[in-house]
């Protein structure tokens, strides 16, 4: 069985007869965690944060050097979108097929292997001398980076009770914003003095430090962060059981729409500021820090917001729903980004969009953990994979709109589509116990 705190909102349903991991490696951890969360666990969330920082630093190098890459390889923005697609397709495919690896072998083993792979892919990107090589190394990067969120979600689910997961998820998810903020500083300085290729080497080399820290800090957590003893023959049954749930597809709808907004900010905003708002290489990268820094605000404040509403008497379900509503209101400011002439005004709107999308995704990740607690890695992988595969398909079309100077329509969709995700999730939410 799995224990949840009072008022826990969950997308999980029992009675599907999915194979369960042994009690000692899953459910009992929650009953202990409900009473007291050791300080060491919160420090471990710091390591999850740092992994997510590296994850975003390594993927952001391409978007921050986009105009230099486009010039060197003589690409249109549509063709640049195809390079982005290479990353998203591999990222999505591995999430769909490989999320179960986190459940099977545990994050203590899978996580450092993944960080090592994506760090190597980043370093190798510096050697690309053709578009095919560039796309190939981005494809390899996507394979490694795909394991970050399933692994981190598995850790917080194993070690923390439901009431503390939104805050823990916000802490590690804020690494995306921190990485996006740090990357422009590293990439701009390195590119100016050593060239854009050196930026890939410098950022990719940082992963080795994290691997050493992870293996040392988790050396006594092998049982908590180990794998689950289920047969590989069961995995297809597990996946089918998960995707047959209506709530899975409600979350998938959100994964496609809201993750798409997040991916757009990460992949295109620096290039947008430099090519369509007329900013220099350094200025465009510097102002992108403002947008990405706003992600940090959303990641941290939404967890505190939910906890505060719960202390005021709201159920967990209602508190999460309020947070999602406010997030969509903030993202609605994206509708006017492409319609106003003021660069300052456009950046301000993008700041609100960033706060909104980060807040929404923290709650979304918490709901993913509730969908099938025994197989968080599998659920997360399936949902994240669908979102990334869909965005991979759309990336060249985003580039084409940019080539045609039609980005205003893209920003209009960014402001409106998240509301569809909100209504889908609101309908799917239900109270497990009250």
pLDDT tens digit string along 213-263? 999 988 877 777 777 766 667 777 888 888 888 889 889 988 899 999 999
Residues of the chain by 3-state class (helix, strand, coil), percent to 5: 80, 0, 20
Q: What is the pLDDT of residue 129?
A: 92
Beta-strand runs (E) in 104-169: none
Decide: 370 and 8 in contact? Cβ < 8 Å: yes
Q: What is the pLDDT of residue 237?
A: 83
223/229 Cα distance (integer angstroms): 12
Q: What is the DSSP letter of 279?
A: -
Q: What is the pLDDT of residue 19?
A: 61
Cα Rg of the chain, angstroms: 21
Q: What is the pLDDT of residue 107?
A: 86
Q: What is the pLDDT of residue 17?
A: 58
The pLDDT tens digits along the chain (434 residues) read 233 333 444 555 544 556 655 543 444 444 444 456 677 888 888 899 999 999 999 999 999 999 999 999 999 999 999 999 999 999 999 888 777 788 788 888 899 999 999 999 999 999 999 999 999 999 999 999 999 988 888 888 887 777 777 778 778 877 877 888 899 999 999 999 999 999 999 999 999 999 999 999 888 777 777 777 666 677 778 888 888 888 898 899 888 999 999 999 988 899 999 988 989 988 998 898 899 888 888 888 888 888 888 888 888 888 889 999 999 999 999 999 989 999 999 999 999 999 999 999 988 988 887 888 777 777 888 888 899 999 999 999 999 888 888 888 889 999 999 999 998 888 766 544 44
What three-state secondary structure class fits 19? coil
Please choose, from the candidates 298, 229, 220, the residue with its C-alpha nearest in 3D space to the C-alpha of residue 261. Answer: 298
Q: What is the pLDDT of residue 326?
A: 94
Tell me whether residue 341 is exposed, middle or buried, using C-beta atoms within 10 angstroms of its C-beta: 0 to 12, 13 to 18, 19 or more. exposed
Decide: 59 and 121 in contact? Cβ < 8 Å: no
DSSP character string of 187-198: HHHHHHHH-HHH
Please choose, from the candidates 423, 215, 206, 199, the residue with its C-alpha nearest in 3D space to the C-alpha of residue 325. Answer: 423
60/115 Cα distance (integer angstroms): 15
Domain ranges of the chain: 25-428
Q: What is the pLDDT of residue 20?
A: 58
Decide: 173 and 298 in contact? Cβ < 8 Å: no
Decide: 187 and 285 in contact? Cβ < 8 Å: yes
CATH superfamily of 25-428: MFS general substrate transporter like domains (1.20.1250.20)
């Amino acid at each position: 069985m799995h224990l949840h705190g009072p008022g826990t909102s969950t997308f999980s349903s029992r009675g599907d007869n999915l194979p369960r991991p042994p009690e000692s490696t899953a459910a009992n951890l929650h009953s202990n965690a409900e009473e007291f969360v050791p300080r060491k666990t919160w420090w471990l969330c710091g390591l999850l944060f740092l992994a997510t920082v590296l994850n975003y630093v390594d993927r952001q190098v391409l978007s921050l050097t986009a105009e230099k890459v486009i010039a060197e390889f003589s690409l249109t923005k549509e063709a640049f979108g195809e390079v982005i697609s290479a990353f998203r397709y591999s990222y999505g495919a591995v999430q769909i097929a490989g999320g179960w690896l986190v459940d099977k072998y545990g994050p203590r083993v899978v996580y450092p292997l993944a960080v090592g792979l994506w760090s190597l892919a980043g370093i190798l990107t510096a050697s690309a001398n053709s578009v095919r090589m560039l796309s190939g190394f981005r494809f390899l990067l996507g394979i490694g980076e795909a394991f970050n969120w399933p692994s981190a979600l598995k850790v917080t689910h194993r070690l923390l009770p439901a009431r503390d997961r939104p805050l823990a998820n916000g802490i590690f998810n804020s690494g995306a914003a921190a990485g996006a903020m740090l990357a422009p500083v590293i990439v701009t300085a390195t590119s100016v003095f050593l060239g854009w290729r050196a930026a890939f080497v410098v950022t990719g080399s940082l992963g080795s430090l994290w691997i050493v820290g992870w293996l040392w800090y988790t050396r006594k957590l092998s049982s908590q962060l180990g794998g689950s003893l289920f047969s590989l023959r069961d995995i297809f049954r597990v996946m089918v059981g998960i995707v047959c749930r209506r709530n899975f597809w409600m979350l998938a709808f959100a994964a496609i729409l809201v993750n798409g907004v997040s991916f757009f900010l990460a992949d295109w905003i620096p290039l947008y500021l430099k090519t369509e708002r007329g900013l220099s290489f350094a200025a465009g990268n510097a102002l992108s820090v403002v947008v990405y820094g706003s992600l940090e605000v959303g990641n941290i404040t939404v967890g505190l917001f939910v906890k505060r509403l719960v202390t005021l008497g709201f159920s967990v379900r209602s508190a999460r729903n309020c947070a999602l509503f406010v997030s969509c209101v903030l993202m609605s400011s994206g509708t006017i980004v492409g319609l106003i002439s003021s660069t300052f005004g456009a950046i301000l709107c993008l700041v609100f969009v960033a706060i909104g999308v980060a807040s929404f995704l923290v709650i979304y990740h918490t709901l993913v953990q509730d969908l099938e607690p025994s197989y968080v890695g599998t659920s997360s992988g399936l949902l994240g994979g669908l979102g990334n595969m869909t965005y991979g398909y759309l990336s060249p079309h985003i580039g084409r709109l940019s080539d045609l100077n039609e980005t205003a329509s893209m920003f209009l969709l960014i402001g409106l589509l998240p509301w569809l995700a909100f209504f889908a999730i609101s309908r799917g939410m239900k109270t497990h116990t009250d």
